């Protein structure tokens, strides 16, 4: 029995570690920029109210995308089309508002566009039995092209009621909300999603498929339907991120916005404990990962390192995160 007990203990330890690790990463990033500020920019504070608001705003968008990506990655998939779908949905929203649709209808159309894009991804992955990486690499271009086509490659300003266009505005001074409503929406959806993943048949199936698709098929799980639903769910969250982006751009839809967002989102999920081999993913971790990614980008801006260096730093972080994931896997399999 001793033989069986040892790896079990390690299992518990690795669970604790993978929950805590993303927080440590975030703290590390915060500490670095805070120290930087103390030493080289003593007259300004890194975590000023202004910067906090900026980070919150960015995190709402990346975090919303990361929610969907968490499910997709947990199911053993990947979605590279997030940035494009976000652009497509923000354009859909702006266009439908501009063409006179009511806010509710416009929102429905936006969510519909996101879900439809996810369905296309899911059906291609399962129907054609293609690798999700390749499918979504293709649809990344398709959806981006679509967004540019319907908008004639223009930014589309549109009027919108306050409730759907001030989601990322900082709360009134002295308000108990602390951060913009968008962040709270993400938090509420995260709680719902975490519950769905943990407590429903659907969630159980997602992890089963991601952990071992052959075993899931052998056990008679509806693998194809579940995967299609997973990508559709991803599209749903991306559409809401599109709504945020419309807020972020001051009531505009922009077909060229957020190229490369998928990398931040995937990095957020992996930093948060998601495994690119599937079967693992944590909603909480992904949100922490998303916060880390946006803090990093803001911190780079704060440190005035410029765009090229910022790219290098983010790139290094992504590789480092995936390396850590691989090391975890390897230790696990030994």
Rounded CA-CA distance 165/311 in Å is 30
- C-beta of residue 97 within 8 angstroms of C-beta of residue 158: yes
211 counts as binding another protein under rule CB under 8 A: yes
Residue with the two structure tokens 């993400």: 186
Q: Which of 25, 196, 216 is nearest to 126 (CA)?
A: 216
Burial of 224 (0-12, 13-18, 19+ CB in 10 A): middle
Contact between 221 and another protein per CB under 8 A? yes
Local structure of 252: helix, strand or coil: strand
Pick one of 129, 220, 250, 304: the residue that binds another protein (CB under 8 A).
220
* CB 205, min distance to another protein, A: 8
Tell me if 279 contacts another protein by CB under 8 A.
yes
* Using rule CB under 8 A, residue 3 touches another protein: yes
Dmax of the chain from CA atoms?
A: 70
Shortest Å distance, C-beta 17 to another protein: 14
The DSSP string of 290-326 is HHHHHHHHHHHHHTT-HHHHHHHHHHHHHHHHHHHHH
Tokens of 271: 């930093």
Nearer to another protein, 5 or 172 (CB): 5
Q: 258 CB contacts (<8 Å, ≥6 apart)?
A: 61, 83, 86, 87, 245
Q: Minimum Å distance from CB 85 to another protein?
A: 26
Distance CA 29, CA 313 (A): 12
Q: Considering the rule CB under 8 A, would residue 280 count as an interface residue with another protein?
A: yes
CB-wise, 157 or 203, nearer to another protein? Answer: 203
Binding footprint of another protein, residue count (CB under 8 A) = 30
Part in contact with another protein (CB under 8 A); list of ranges 29-37, 125-133, 193-201, 255-263: 193-201
Cβ proximity to another protein, 20 vs 219, nearer residue:
219
Which tokens is 297 given? Answer: 């980008």
Q: Is 326 in the site for another protein (CB under 8 A)?
A: no
201 in contact with another protein (CB under 8 A): yes
Tokens of 332: 């696990």
Does residue 222 bind another protein (CB under 8 A)? Answer: yes
> In whole angstroms, how close is the CB of 207 to another protein at the nearest point?
6
The residue among 199 and 311 lying less far from another protein, judged by its C-beta, is 199
Rounded Cα distance between 124 and 232, Å, is: 12
Binding footprint of another protein on the chain (CB under 8 A): 1, 3-5, 7-8, 11, 199-204, 207-208, 211-212, 214-222, 275, 279-280, 332
């Amino acid at each position: 029995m001793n033989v069986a007990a040892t790896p079990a203990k390690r299992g518990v330890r690795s669970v604790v570690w993978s929950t805590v690790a993303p927080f440590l990463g975030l703290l590390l990033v915060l500490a670095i920029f805070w120290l930087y500020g103390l030493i080289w920019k003593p007259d300004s504070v890194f975590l000023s109210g202004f910067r906090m608001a900026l980070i919150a705003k960015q995190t709402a968008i990346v975090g919303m995308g990361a929610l969907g990506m968490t499910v997709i990655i947990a199911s053993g998939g990947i979605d590279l089309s997030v940035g494009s779908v976000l652009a497509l949905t923000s354009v859909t929203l702006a266009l439908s508002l501009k063409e006179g649709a009511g806010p509710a209808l416009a929102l429905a159309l936006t969510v519909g566009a996101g879900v439809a894009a996810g369905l296309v991804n899911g059906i291609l992955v399962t129907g054609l039995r293609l690798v999700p990486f390749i499918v979504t690499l293709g649809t990344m271009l398709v959806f981006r092209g679509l967004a540019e086509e319907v908008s004639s490659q223009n930014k589309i300003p549109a009027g919108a009621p306050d409730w759907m266009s001030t989601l990322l505005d900082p709360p009134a001074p002295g308000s108990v909300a602390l951060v913009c409503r968008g962040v709270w929406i993400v938090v509420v959806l995260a709680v719902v999603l975490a519950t769905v993943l943990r407590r429903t048949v659907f969630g159980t199936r997602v992890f089963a498929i991601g952990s071992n698709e052959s075993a899931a098929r052998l056990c008679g799980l509806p693998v194809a339907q579940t995967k299609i639903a997973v990508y559709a769910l991803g599209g749903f969250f991306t559409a809401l991120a599109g709504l945020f982006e419309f807020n972020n751009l001051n009531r505009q839809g922009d077909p060229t916005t957020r190229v490369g967002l998928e990398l931040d989102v995937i990095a957020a999920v992996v930093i948060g404990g998601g495994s690119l081999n599937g079967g693992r993913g944590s909603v909480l971790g992904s949100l922490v990962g998303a916060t880390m990614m946006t803090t990093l980008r803001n911190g780079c801006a704060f440190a005035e390192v410029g765009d090229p260096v910022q790219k290098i730093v983010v790139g290094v972080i992504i590789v480092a995160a995936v390396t850590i994931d691989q090391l975890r896997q390897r230790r696990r399999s030994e």
